[in-house]
Structure 1
Amino acid sequence: MEMTRKNRHLLDTKPSATTSLGLLVIEKGHVVAASDSFFSNYSLPVPVKKLSSLFGNIPDKIIDDLETGSVSCTYPFVWHTSCEADDLPWLFCRNVLLPSPVKDNWQFLLICHEAVSETLMTYLPVATIYSDSSAPLSIKHVSPAIEKWTGLPPEKLTGEESLFRLIIHPEDRSRVIDALNSVTPETSKFSIAYRLTHTSGKITWIKQELVPDASAANGAHHLFLLTDITAVKERQLALSQAEERYRLFFQRGPLAIMCIDRHGFVIDCNDRLAHLSGMEKKEVLGLNTLASTHPAIRDFAREVLRGRDMRYQGEYTIPGTESTIMVSVSAFPLRNEEGAVVGGYAFIEDITNRAELQRRLDEERDFNRLTIESAGILVAEVLSNGKILRTNNIVQEMLGLGAGELQKHLFWDILGDPSRKEALKEAFSKCMTTGHSTTIETPVTIDGRKKRQISWKINTCPASLKKGKNHDSDHLIVVGTDISSQRRLEEQIREIQKMDAIGRLAGGVAHDFNNQLTAILGYCQMLLMDTEPSSRTFKQLQIIEKAAKRASETTNQLLAFSRKQTLQPKKVLLNKAVKDASGLFERLLGENINVEFDLSGEDIPVQVDPGRFQQVLLNLALNARDAMENGGTITITTGVRNSSEFEQSSLQEGEYALIEVRDTGIGMEQEVLDKAFEPFFT
C-alpha cells in the first residue's frame, strides 16, 4: 500500500520507555500499517471494525466514515481507553483521528498519545469542551483552539459559567443558553450554531455538537466538538441576500415575469404579470400557455420550448378591461445541466408610454426634416476643422454634389469664397471659444460662374447630436440663407434713390432751362421773319436757332430722365427697329467704322418708345466709335434669352428680347464699367 514518507517516519519512530505512542494508518476501510504496540497478533490489512475489540466502544459513525472514506475533519477526544473512569478530562485526550490525503486513496492516522494529541489539538481548526452532563455550561476542560475565537485562554473559561455566557454573541445568548440547559445525561444528539465574540470584537460562527457515544461512555460528562463554520455562514448569508434581491426584483420590478415548465404550464409569476393577464396570481399559476388564445403568448411558449429565444413587440389587450397597451416580450429557454429544455422564462414590459413618446419624437423629427428641406435654407453639420459631416438636400442640389462627395471637402473650400476663407475660419473658432452663435456673409460660386451671397449662422452642435461620434473635434451646425436677391434689391433701392435725386435735380434744371430756350427760340424766329434770307445776320440767326433746338432736345432728355416727360411706347418689330435706327447713325460714324448685324431668324415684337430706342442705339454707336480711333467694327445682335441665363438678375422668370452692341475698341476699365449706366457719366 502506498503511504506518505511522513507517515512511514511516524511508524518507524520507536516510543521511549516512558511513553506509549500508538499509530495506525487506515486506508479504504482497513488498517494497512500500525506501530508495534497495535495488532501484534494480526496480519495486516485488518478491517476497521476490529478496532472496537482493541479500543472498546468506538462510535459507529466513525467506523462508517472510515469504511466509506468520508472523514473530512478531525475527531478528537472521541473515545476512552480501557482505563477506569476518572474526573480528569485528559483521559479522553489520548486518541486523535486525522485525515492524511494520499493520491487516489482514503488514508487516516489514528494517534494514541497524550502529549502528541494535546499538541495537535492546539493547532487544529476545531475545539472541544468537556462539561458536566447535568450542567453543560459548567466547563471542566476546553482545548486551546478556543482562544483564537474568543481571545481568552482556556483556563479563563474553565469553571467560569458566567464568562462563557459573555463570549456568546448577545443576539444568540438566550437561545444558546436555553438549548444547552436542555441537555441531560441521557441526551445522545445535540447540535447548535451560534456566534462567539472575540475580545477584539471579531465575530466567529461556530457549530457545537455533542460527540456521539463518547459522552454515553461516561454519563457524568459530555464531550462537545466546536467547529468554525464562519465561511459556511458567509456563503449562506450571501446566498440569502442574493435570493432577497431576486425576490425584490421578481415581485417589485417594472417587468412582468412568468416561468413555465417543459409542458407549457405556468409554475411561477409575479403580481405584475397577473395584472396584465387580468387575473389573480393564483388563477394564473397552472395555466397552459400552449393553449392560450393570445398568439403572442402561444408563440412564446412554443418557440421557447423548442429551445429558441423569442422577441415580440406589439399591441396587447388586457382581458376583462379591453384596455390595449404596447408590450415588449423577451423570452428564453431554461435548460438543465445536460442542455435539455426544461422550461422557459418570459419578461414582459409595458412600453405604452415609451411607444407614445417615440411616436411623438418621430413626428417632430419628420416635421423638422420637412421644415428644413422646404424652408429653402442651407444646413450643414461640420467639424470645427471644416470637415463636412452631412448636409440637407438644398446644399446638395445647389452644388450639384452628393452627400459622399461633399464629405471629401472642407466647408470653406466649397461653401465659401477664397477671399473669405480666413474670415470663415475665425468665425468657426469664435463660435467654439464663446459658445455663442456667429454670423458671417460669404459669396458662393455655383457651376464656376454664378455667385450667390450667403449669410451663414454658425452654432455649436447640441450634445445629443454628438453622442456616440468621434469627439476629436467639436461639431457645429451651420445654417445659411441665400440673400443674393435681398442684396440686389437693396442695391436697386439705393440706385433708385440716387437716380431719383438726380432726376429731381435734372428735372428742375431742365424745366427752368426750357423756359429760357422757349423765349430764345421765339425771339429768334421773329428776327428771322424780319431779316433778309440773303443777309449775313439771317445765317447767324439760323445758327442760334439750331443751337437752341439742340439745347431743347437736351432738356427734353433731362425731362424724360426725371420722368417729367411721358414716354410713348409702341409695339414694333425688333429687327426692323434696329435697321431703322442704324440708318440714322451710319452717316455719323465715318467711313473707317463698319457696322454688322447678327439678327435673330424670327423678328421679335417688343414694346418700346421708338424715339428713345433710336437715341439709345445712337449713343451706344457713338461711344463705340470714340473707343475705336483707328476704325473697327460694330456688331449689333438680337435674339431671345431666358432670365435664368443672366447672372444676379432681378428679372421675373420668362423670356426676354436681347440687343447686344459689341465693338473692337480698347474696352473699358473696371472702374469705368461700374459707372457705365450712371446718368451724365462720360
Structure 2
Amino acid sequence: MEDVELDADLIEKELLRAKILFESRRAENRPQFIQALNQFKPDLILADYSLPQFNVLDALALLQEDHKDIPVILVTGHHSEEVAVECMKRGAQDYILKSSLRRLPKAVVNALEKRRSQEDKAAAEAAFRRREEQYRLITENTRDLIALLDLDHRFLYVSPSHQRVLGHDPEGMLGKSYEEWVHPTDARALRRTFEEALFFREGCNVEVRWKMQTGRWQSFETTGNWIFDERGKPQRALLVSRDITERKRAETEIERLAAFPRYNPQPVWAFSADGSLIYFNDAVVALTRSLGKTHPREMLPLNIATIVKMCLSTGQSKIRMDTTMGKRTLSWSFAPIVPHQVVYSWSEDITDRLNLEGRLRQSQKMESVGQLAAGVAHDFNNILTIIQGHAQMLVATGRLEPRLGESMKQISMAAERAANLTRQLLVFSRKQAMQPQLLNLNEVVQNITKMLRTLVGEQVAVQFDRARQLPIINADPGMMEQILVNLAVNARDAMPRGGTITITTSSVDIDSSYVAQHADARPGMHVCLSVSDTGSGMSADTMAHLFEPFFTTKEVGKGTG
C-alpha cells in the first residue's frame, strides 16, 4: 500500500538487496487494495499509514472483517510512536520508518516465519481435533468395551458400549474398580495381564468373563496396556474388551465337525487341488503301519493327482475305486468340496470282506451242489433198494446154480457199495448225519496205510509221520478213511513216474489271527491231519477251485479227481 512510486521502488530494492525473492502488487487506494486481496492473494502486506481516502487502519479493519490472517508491516515516513502503537494494537506485525529501511528485510522474514508458525500450529491443532473427533466417534459407536483406569484400576473413562453390550450405565462405573464386573477367577488373571503389560511395555491379552446386567457371565477377549508419561512412568491403564461369544460358538462348531474325521475309525484323507496330501487322521496312520509302510503317501493310488483334478472339475464324487497292495485290497471313495478346492477321501481295507464274500459264494455253490447230490442220492437209493431186495431174495431161495449164486452175491455187494456212496452224498448234502465216535487218529491212519500202499502201487512210497500223545477226537472213521483214500489216489495220479506220499498228524493251537481269515475255524487246541506228495503241485488258479465238487484237471476218461 503505497501511493508514492519512488518509495515503493526503494522498498523493493531493499528487499532485493537482502536477496529476498518476491512478487509484488501496488495498491494506491481502497478499490485496488480490495482487488489485490482477492486476486493477488498476498502473503504479506507492506503498508504506508495514509493513502488518499484510505489508511492502514482501514486496511486492518477490512482484513478482520474478511477473516484474512495476512501479516501487515507499517512502513511510514514521519508518524509518531503513538500511531505505531495504535496500528500494532489493531493487528500490525511491525513498524518500520522509511528512513530506516535496512530493518525491513528482517522484519519481513520474521513476519513470514511467524505466520508460518501460526499456520503450522493451527494445522496441528485442527489435525488433533480431527483425530480426537475420530477417536470419540470410534469409542462411542464401537461394540468393543473401551475404558481408561487409574493406577489403582478404578475407571476414569467408560465407553458407551458398556451400556449397549453389558447393560451397565458408564457413569455409574466411574471411580469403581473393574473387579466389581469381572469374574473373580478372571480378575486375578487380568491383574497378571496388567503386570505383564507393564513389564513388556506392550499390550497383553487374556480371556475375561464380564458380568451382564442380567447376572449372566459373558466371555470377552481383553487387552490390557499402559499409557506412560515422557519419563516412562505409567499414568493410566487402557482396557479394551471384545465379545467373543460368537467366535467361541464357531470354534466349538468347528471342533465338533473336526472331531468327525479325527476320531473316525475309518481312514480319512484330504487333498489340495494339485493332489497333495494335506490331512490324514489317526486311522490312516494305523493302516499305514499295518501294511508295513512308513508314510501314508506310500499307499496313495498312482493317479491320485488326476483323480483329484477330475473330481474338482466335474464336481462329482468317485466311489469304490479298488487298489491292491501286496495281498491287501483297499477301497477308495473321493468327494470334492469345490468352493474350498479340497477333495476328501475315505479308504477301507476290504481284504477280509472280499475273502468272506468269496467264502459265501463258495458256500452257496456247495449248497446248490449239495441239494443236487441229495436229490440224486434219494432217487438212486430207491433203485438200489429194489436191486438189493431182489438179489437177496434170489440168493435166499438156494435154488440157483453155484455160478449164478456167486453172481447174485456180487450184485448184492455192488449194490451195498453203491449204497455207501449215496450215504456219502447225503452226508455231503447234510441230509444224513455222520456217525462220529471218539477215536485216535493215529490208529485210523495206521490201519489204512497198508491198503493205501496197495492202492497207489509200488512206484509210490507211503510214509506215516505220527505225533506222540495225540489227543482223542470225535469223528466218523469211515469218512476219515475216505478222505485219505481220495487224497492218496489224487497224489498217485499226479506222480506218474513215482514219488512219495507223506501223511502227518500233529497237535496245533489255533489263534485269533487264523480264525479271522477262516470263518469256520475256532480258537484252541486241534488235531491236524496233513497229506503231502512230491508231485507236480497246483497253480494258484487251480488251488482257487480246490474244494469245488467234481472239479478236475484230468483229461476226459481219466476220472473226475
Shared fold, TM over 0.5: yes
**C-alpha separation between the residues in 2 aligned to 1:287 and 1:146?**
58
SS in structure 1 opposite 2:298?
A: coil
**1:365 aligned partner:** 258
Q: Which of these residues, 63, 69, 76, is aligned with residue 207 of structure 1?
A: 69
1:406 equivalent in alignment to 2:286: no
Counterparts of 1:547-626 in structure 2 under 5 Å? 547-582=414-449, 585-626=452-493
Partner in structure 2 of residue 638 of structure 1: 506
Tell me the TM-score normalised to structure 2 length.
0.72
Q: 1:304 to 1:313 in 2, by over 3 A?
A: closer
> Relative to structure 1, is the Cα distance of residues 655 and 475 closer, same or farther in structure 2, using a 3 angstrom cutoff?
farther
**CA distance, structure 2, for counterparts of residue 586 and residue 281 of structure 1:** 110
Work out the CA distance in 2 between the residues paired with 1:425 and 1:296: 50
Structure 2, gaps ≥5 residues long: 43-55, 94-110, 552-560
**2:363 counterpart of 1:499:** no
**Cα distance change, pair 187–462 in 1 and its aligned pair in 2 (3 A):** closer
Give, in angstroms, the shift of residue 348 of structure 1: 1.6
Which of 429-438 and 206-215 deviates more? 206-215
Q: Provide the secondary structure at the position in 1 that maps to 2:538.
A: coil
- SS class of match (2:343): strand
Are 2:322 and 1:435 aligned? no
The 1:340/1:523 distance shift into structure 2, 3 A limit, reads same
What's the TM-score once normalised by structure 1's chain length? 0.61
**SS at the partner of 1:405?**
coil
Instruction: Say if 1:193 and 1:452 are closer, same or farther in 2 by CA, change over 3 A.
Output: farther
Indicate conservation of the 8 Å contact 1:191/1:209, yes or no. no
Residues 476, 623 of structure 1: alpha-carbon distance in 2 compared, 3 angstrom cutoff: same
The structure carrying a bigger helix percent of its residues is 2
Are the equivalent residues in 1 in contact too, given 2:139–2:160 (CA < 8 A)?
A: no
* CA distance 1:384–1:649, shift in 2 (3 Å): farther
- How far apart are the structure 1 equivalents of 2:119 and 2:386? 132
Residue 458 of structure 1 deviates from its aligned partner by: 1.4
Question: 1:237 offset after TM fit, Å?
Answer: 6.1
In the TM superposition, what whole-angstrom CA distance separates every residue of 1:555-604 from its partner, at most 9, and x where no partner exists? Answer: 22223223332223344444444445546534423344333344455523
- Paired position in structure 1 for 2:142: 253
- 1:538 corresponds to which of 386, 400, 405: 405
1:73-97 per-residue CA deviation (whole Å, 9 max, x = no partner) reads xxxx5xx7xxxxxxx3757745658
- TM-fit CA distance, 1:248: 1.6
2:211 matched residue in structure 1: 318
Which letter does structure 2 place at the counterpart of 1:268?
A: Y
SS at match of 1:121: coil
For 2:146 and 2:424, the matched residues in 1 are separated by 96
**Residue type of the partner of 1:679?**
P
Question: Which amino acid in the other structure matches residue 500 of structure 2?
Answer: G
CA contact (8 A) 1:596 1:633 kept: yes
**Which residue of the partner structure matches residue 674 of structure 1?**
544
The letter of the residue matching 1:655 is G
Distance 1:95 1:304 in 2: 67
Q: Is the 1:130–1:224 Cα contact (8 Å) retained in structure 2?
A: no
Offset of residue 444 of structure 1:
4.1
CA distance in 2, matches of 1:235, 1:510: 115
Distance in 2 separating the partners of 1:520 and 1:141: 154
Please, what is the CA RMSD of the aligned residues?
Answer: 4.7
Counterpart of 1:243, as a letter, is E
1:513 aligns with 2:389: no
Task: Report how far residue 438 of structure 1 moved.
Answer: 0.5
How much does 1:664 deviate?
0.9
Partner of 1:409, secondary structure, is helix
SS of 2:23 mapped into structure 1: helix
**What is the Cα deviation at residue 401 of structure 1?**
6.6
| Alpha-carbon distance in 2 for matches of 1:210, 1:670 | 115
Amino acid at match of 2:513: S
Name the residue aligned to 2:52.
Answer: none
Q: How does 1:471-510 map to 2 (within 5 A)?
A: 475-510=342-377
Partner of 2:287: helix, strand, or coil? helix
**How far 1:411 sits from its partner (Å)?**
1.1
Between structures 1 and 2, the one with greater strand share? 1
AA in 1 matched with 2:385: T
User: Quick one: which amino acid aligns to residue 644 of structure 1?
Assistant: S
The secondary structure found in structure 1 opposite 2:39 is helix
Q: Which residues of 2 match residues 44-63 of structure 1 at below 5 A?
A: none
Paired position in structure 2 for 1:59 = none
3-state SS of paired residue (1:400): helix
Is the 8 Å Cα contact of residues 97 and 111 (structure 1) preserved in structure 2? yes
Corresponding letter in the other structure for 1:392: N
- Alignment equivalent of 1:454, drawn from 330, 333, 340: 330
The answer (yes or no) to whether the contact 1:257–1:345 under 8 Å persists in 2 is yes
Task: Return the alpha-carbon distance in structure 1 between the equivalents of residues 26 and 451 of structure 2.
Answer: 142
**CA 1:236 to 1:568, structure 2 compared with 1: closer, same or farther past 3 Å?**
farther
Q: Which runs of 5+ in 1 are unaligned?
A: 1-76, 81-87, 99-108, 133-138, 151-182, 195-205, 413-420, 465-473
Larger deviation: 395-404 or 493-502? Answer: 395-404
Mapped partners of 2:198, 2:27: distance in 1: 57
Match of 2:524 among 639, 649, 655: 655
Q: Secondary structure at the match of 1:207?
A: coil
Distance 1:425 1:244, change over 3 A: closer
Aligned length: 504
Say if 1:504 and 1:403 are closer, same or farther in 2 by CA, change over 3 A: closer
Shift of 1:627: 1.5
Structure 1 residues 312, 669: CA separation in 2 closer, same or farther (over 3 Å shift)?
closer
Q: After alignment, is 361-370 or 552-561 more displaced? A: 361-370
User: Equivalent residue for 1:147?
Assistant: 39
SS in 1 for 2:33: strand
Deviates more, 1:287-296 or 1:479-488: 287-296
Q: Evaluate the alpha carbon distance shift between residue 550 and residue 288 of structure 1 in structure 2; reply closer, same or farther with a 3 A threshold.
A: closer
Q: Which residue of 1 aligns with 2:248?
A: 355
Aligned twin of 2:107:
none
Aligned amino acid, residue 69 of structure 2: K
Offset of residue 457 of structure 1: 0.6
Partner of 1:121: 23
Query: Which SS does the other structure have where 1:325 is aligned?
Result: strand
Q: Does the CA-based 8 Å contact 1:427-1:439 persist in structure 2?
A: no
Q: CA deviation at 1:677?
A: 1.2
What SS does the corresponding residue of 1:568 show, helix, strand or coil? coil
Distance 1:309 1:646 in 2: 66
Q: Deviations over 1:608-654 (max 9, x none)?
A: 33322221222112211222221323232433232523784324662
Moved more, 234-243 or 490-499: 234-243
Looking at structure 1, the residues matched to 365 and 213 of structure 2 have their Cα atoms a distance apart, in angstroms, of 82
Q: Distance in 2 between matches of 1:231 and 1:403?
A: 81
CA contact (8 A) 2:440 2:471 kept: yes
Q: CA 1:604–1:402 in 2, change beyond 3 Å: closer, same or farther?
A: closer
Q: CA deviation at 1:534?
A: 7.6
Shift of 1:667: 1.3
| Partner amino acid, structure 2, of 1:207 | D
Compared CA separation, residues 111 and 361, structure 1 to 2 (3 A)? closer
